[in-house]
Amino acid sequence: MRFIKLFFLISLAFAVIAFSAQNYAEAISYRSFVKTVNADRQIGNPDAPVTVIVYTDFQCYWCRKFEENDLPRIIEDYVKTGKIFIQFRDFPLSLIHKYAFKSAEYADCAALYGKYMPARSLLYKYQKDWSVMGDLYYFFKTRAKGVINLGKEEACVKSGLPRKLIKSNMSSGMNAKVSGTPTLFIYQGLILYKKVTGYRTFPVINKILQGALQ
């Protein structure tokens, strides 16, 4: 009897999640999802003279190095001063990073509620933790209390909307010849100034950005 009751409760929980995901997908169109998520996956002044598009993978070691060593200084020196506008895009290398795609789904769903940067920071800060266990739900449950609404996150992930957006990001990346992460496309207005593939120390990136601003 206890086993039957437990089985019923588990089945009910999965049914509720499936129903929520279905309702979620029906309540928001893909176009609206993309517009909202992309708006939160960018920082700085859209009218800045230089735009940097960053393709990253949350399970990538060198992407974490970029996040820890370069990005804070780029934000402080260039984004906050109105010189550079940054857009983040997903490029999970699923063949070598087992949980990269799933982590991108959770990050994009966090973006839907204005929490992309906090989710991004958590994923990179504790990369070693979730990369081992692979349970992104449990990771956010223990690391993102008060930051992310897990009920909404789960419904969003299961709706399939972030998966579609990630595949679109990957397609645009492959068309642009992205071969690894991180990859940065640095534009002067609409003109590509430089493509930077792989991690570079801040002095190197700094010199490139200064050149782009001249």
Q: Which CATH superfamily is domain 2-213 in?
A: Glutaredoxin (3.40.30.10)
- 196 φψ region: left (φ > 0), alpha (ψ -120 to 50), beta (else): beta
**Nearest-CA neighbor of 180 among 56, 1, 53?**
56
Q: How far, in Å, CA of 165 to CA of 109, rounded?
A: 11
Chain mean pLDDT for the chain: 89
Q: For residue 50, report the phi and psi dihedrals to the nearest 5 degrees.
A: -125, 135
The structure tokens 């993102």 sit at 144
Please write the tens of the pLDDT for every residue from 156-189: 999 999 999 999 999 999 999 999 999 999 999 9
- Tell me the pTM: 0.85
Would you say residue 14 has pLDDT above 80?
no
Q: What pLDDT digit, counting tens, does each position of 29-71 carry?
A: 999 999 999 999 999 999 999 999 999 999 999 999 999 999 9
* pLDDT of amino acid 118: 95
CA 48 to CA 55: how far, in whole Å? 19
| Residue 192: predicted pLDDT | 98
Per-residue model confidence as pLDDT tens digits over 93-133: 999 999 999 999 999 999 999 999 999 999 999 999 999 98
What's the pLDDT score for residue 9? Answer: 37
DSSP line for 28-59: S-HHHHHHHHHHHTEES-TT-SEEEEEEE-TT
